[in-house]
Amino acid sequence: MTNETAPKTARLSLGDQEIELPVMVGAEGEMAIDIRKLRAQTGAVTFDPGLGNTGACTSNITFLDGEKGILRHAGYPIEELANQSSFLEVMWLLLHQELPLKTELDSFTHDITHHTMMHEDLKRLFASLPKAGHPMAVCAAAVGALSTFYQKEGPKTPEQNWIDAIRLLAKMPTIAAYCYKHSIGQPLMYPRNDLSYAANLLYMMFGTPCEAYEPNPVTARALDLLLILHADHEQNCSTSTVRTVGSSGANLFSSVSAGISALWGPLHGGANQAVIEMLMSIRDGERSAREFMELAKQKDSGVRLMGFGHRVYKNYDPRAKILKSACDDVLGQLGKRDPLLDIAQELEQIALEDSYFVERKLYPNVDFYSGIIYKALGIPTDMFTVFFAIGRMPGWISQWLEFQADPDKRITRPRQIYTGATPRSYQKVEGR
Ligand code: SDX
C-alpha cells in the first residue's frame, strides 16, 4: 500500500452517525486509521486490550513485518547487521537512524569507553542487597539509582539527555557484572579501557584480581552478535513502558529502570531463562519432549512452550533463525556440545509438524535459542535476561529520545470501559 493507492479515509457508521477518519500510511505501506478525533466526534472510544491493533506512535527506528518475518533498523536488514556490523555501530544506527562515519564511530567508542566506571558510592547499593536477589531486580534498582548521581531540577536539555544516554550505555555492562560478582561473593572488577564493549563485559564478569584474564575473541564476537540481535524491536512491552514513563517527564534513568522491570516478565525477556529451565527439565527426565509438547497445548496445564510464539511474528522470528545457526558455530568454535540444543531442535521439529502450533502460527522467537549460546559463553542462567537488557539498552534509549523530540508528544493515558457498580449511597458499617 502507498500514499497514492491507500484510501484517504475510513468511514465509520455508529448509530445514526456517519463519520470519516483519516488513514495514515507508513513508509513500508502499513495502514493506520487515525482515531485522534473519534471520541470528540462520536463520544465513543476504541477497545483493544494488549494494544495488538493499536499504533501508539510513529517511529523512524525499527520496522517489523510479522507476516514475512522481517526486522530492519532504519532500513538495514537484521541479517546484514548481524553478519557485518558491531554492537556499537548498531547503537549509533538506532540513536541516529544512520550508520556512523569512521570519525563518528571512533569518537562514540571513545565516549562509551570513558564512561564505563561507576560512582564509588553506587557500589554500596549492591552490597546492601541480598546475594540471592534476582539480578534483574538489582539492575532495575541500580539503573534507577543512577538518576540520583545525575539529577537536575526540571527537564533536561537534549545535550544533557545525550550525555545521560552515553552514561547508561557505558555503565550497563558494569552494573550487570557488579550484580553477578556480588551474587557470588567475588570482588567487583573495574572496567578496562583497552577492551571492546563485549570483551570488557566478559572481563568484568569472569576476571579476578588474582590473575590476568583475557576474554576469548570467539566468545566476545558471539556476545557482540547476541547484543546486536537484542538491540531494538519497535513497540514491545518494555520499550512501550520506557516511552510511557518518559511521557510523564520522568528522566531517562527512571524510564529505563521501569523498562528493565517490564522485560523481566517470563512472557517477555524473562523467557530466555525460562527456555533453558524448560530444556533442562526435559533433559533431566521430568517428562519427554513429546509429553511436554502435549502439556503445552493444554490451556489449564500451566505449561507453555517458552521461546515460542510472538505478538507480531506470525512467521519465524528472523533473530531466531540467526541464533539457531549461531548455536552450531559457537559451540563448534568453543569445542563444546550441549544436549539442550538437541532437545530444542526436537521441540521445534515437533511444533512445526503439530497443527496446534501451525494453526496458531507459533514459531521460535528470539528467546528460544539465545540461552544455548549464553550458556556456552559461561553466562549463568539467572543473568540471561540481564544480558537481554544490555542488548536492548540502545533500543530503549533511542525510542525514549525519539519520544522526547516529538513536537506532538503527550502523556500516555489510555481510556477504559467501566464495568463496575452503578451509583449507590454510602451506608454506615452498622447498617451493612
Ligand atoms: C519477547 O514484542 C516483542 O517484540 C517481544 C520481543 C522483543 O524483542 O522485545 O520479541 C521479545 O518477549 C519474545 C516473546 C518471549 N515470550 C515467550 O517465549 C513466552 C511464550 N510465548 C507466549 O506466552 C506468547 O506467545 C506471547 C506472550 C509471546 C505472545 O502472546 P499473545 O500475542 O498475547 O498470544 P496469545 O497468548 O493470545 O496466544 C495465542 C494463542 C493462544 O491459544 P488460543 O487462545 O488461541 O487457544 O496461542 C497460544 C495461546 O494459548 N500460545 C501458546 C504459546 N504462545 C501462544 N501455546 C503454547 N505455548 C506458547 N508458547
- CATH number for the domain harbouring residue 173: 1.10.580.10
Out of 367, 382, 406, 408, pick the active-site residue.
Answer: 367
Q: Are residues 209 and 102 in the same domain?
A: yes
Which of 311, 359, 398, 399 to probe ligand 1 with, by most ligand atoms within 8 A of CB? 311
> Positive or negative, the Cα torsion across 284, 285, 287, 289?
positive
> Does some domain include residue 424?
no
What confidence score (pLDDT) does residue 155 get? 85
CA pair distance 206, 431, nearest whole angstrom? 67
Final residue in a domain of this structure, among 35, 51, 70 = 70
- Give the separation between CA 427 and CA 411, rounded to whole angstroms: 38
Burial 138-152 (b: 16+ CB within 10 A, else e): bbbbbbbbbbeebee
Same structural domain for residues 170 and 317? no
Q: Is residue 40 part of a domain?
A: yes
CB of 271 shorter than 6 A to ligand 1: yes
- Mark whether 129 and 201 lie in a shared domain: yes
Same domain assignment for residues 372 and 393: no
pLDDT reported for residue 336: 94
Which of 243, 260, 258, 254 is CA-nearest to residue 151? 254
CA dihedral 203, 207, 212, 213 (to 10 degrees): -50
Asked if 194 is an active-site residue, the reply is no
Which residues, listed in sequence order, are joined to residue 17 by a DSSP beta bridge?
A: 14
Q: Please give the angle made by the CA atoms of 76, 401 and 74, to the nearest 5 degrees.
A: 10
Q: Is residue 179 part of a domain?
A: yes
Which amino acid residue places its CA nearest to atom 43 of ligand 1? Answer: 360
Instruction: Calculate the CA 421 to chain-centre distance.
Output: 38
- The 10s digit of each residue's pLDDT in 277-299 is 999 999 999 899 999 999 999 99
Domain check: are 218 and 168 in the same one? yes
111-145 confidence digits (pLDDT tens) = 999 999 999 999 999 999 999 999 999 999 999 99
The answer to the question of residue 370 being in a domain is yes
| pLDDT, tens digit (0-9, with 9 covering 90-100), for 3-45 | 889 999 999 999 999 999 999 999 999 999 999 999 999 999 9
The crossing angle, in degrees rounded to 10, of helices 158-183 and 384-404 is 170
- Ligand 1 atom index nearest CA of 236: 2
Asked whether the beta carbons of 265 and 272 are under 8 A apart, the reply is no
154 lies in the same domain as 190: yes
> Average pLDDT in the 176-180 region?
97
**Backbone angle region of 134, left / alpha / beta, with phi > 0 → left and psi within -120 to 50 → alpha:** beta
Do 101 and 223 belong together in one domain?
Answer: yes
pLDDT tens figures, 196-207:
999 999 999 999
**CATH number for the domain harbouring residue 63:** 2.20.28
For residues 255 and 283, state if they share a domain: no
Determine how many CB atoms are found less than 10 A away from the CB of residue 346.
17
Classify residue 314: in a domain, yes or no.
Answer: yes
Which residue spans within 196-308 are E strands per DSSP?
none
- Does the pLDDT value for residue 417 go beyond 90? yes
- pLDDT, residue 154, reads 79
Asked whether residue 193 is domain-assigned, the answer is yes
Per-residue model confidence (pLDDT) at position 265: 97
Q: Is 310 in the pocket of ligand 1 (CB under 6 A)?
A: yes
pLDDT at residue 174 tops 90: yes
What is the domain count for the chain? 3
Residue 11: its pLDDT value, please? 97
Between strands 17-25 and 31-33, the pairing is: antiparallel
Looking from the CA of residue 237, the nearest atom of ligand 1 is 2
Nearest ligand 1 atom, CA 238: 9
Q: pLDDT-derived band of residue 2, with 50, 70 and 90 as boundaries? A: confident
Q: What's the CATH number where 329 sits?
A: 1.10.230.10
Q: Is the CB of 71 under 6 A from ligand 1?
A: no
- Full domain range(s) for residue 362: 271-376
Residue 241 lies in a domain: no
pLDDT, residue 4, reads 86
Candidate of 54, 267, 359 to mutate for ligand 1, largest count of ligand atoms within 8 Å of Cβ: 267
Which pTM does this prediction carry? 0.97
- Note the pLDDT tens digit of each residue in 326-359: 999 999 999 999 999 999 999 999 999 999 999 9
Task: Give the pLDDT of residue 87.
Answer: 98
> Is residue 41 located within the same domain as residue 100?
no
Which cell is 11 given? 468511514
CA of 211 to the centre of ligand 1 (A): 45
| Active-site residue, from 310, 317, 329, 338 | 310
367 is annotated as an active-site residue: yes
**Nine-digit cell string for 202:** 566478559
Q: Tell me the average pLDDT across 295-306.
A: 94
Environment class of 6 (CB within 10 Å of its CB; exposed 0-12, middle 13-18, buried 19+): middle
- Does the beta carbon of 278 lie inside 6 Å of ligand 1? no
**Is it the case that residue 413 has pLDDT exceeding 90?**
yes
Measure Cα distances from 233 to 24, 114, 426 in Å. Answer: 21, 28, 49
Report the pLDDT averaged over residues 394-399. Answer: 98
Do residue 64 and residue 95 come from a single domain? Answer: no
Q: Assess whether pLDDT exceeds 90 at residue 52.
A: yes
216: nearest Cα among 346, 377, 33: 377
79-121 pLDDT, tens digit per residue, is 999 999 999 999 999 999 999 999 999 999 999 999 999 999 9
Residues 224 and 352 in one domain: no
Residues 129 and 207 in one domain: yes
Our mutation pick for probing the ligand 1 site, out of 360, 369, 390, counting the most ligand atoms within 8 A of Cβ, is 360
- 426: in domain: no
Residue 307 Cα to ligand 1 midpoint, Å, equals: 8
Is 263 near ligand 1, meaning CB less than 6 Å away?
no
pLDDT score at 152: 84
User: What is the per-residue pLDDT across 207-256, written as a single tens digit (0 to 9) for each?
Assistant: 999 999 999 999 999 999 999 999 999 999 999 999 999 999 999 999 99
Neighbours of 306 (CB within 10 A): 24
Q: Supply the angle between the helices 102-113 and 87-96 in degrees, to the nearest 10.
A: 110
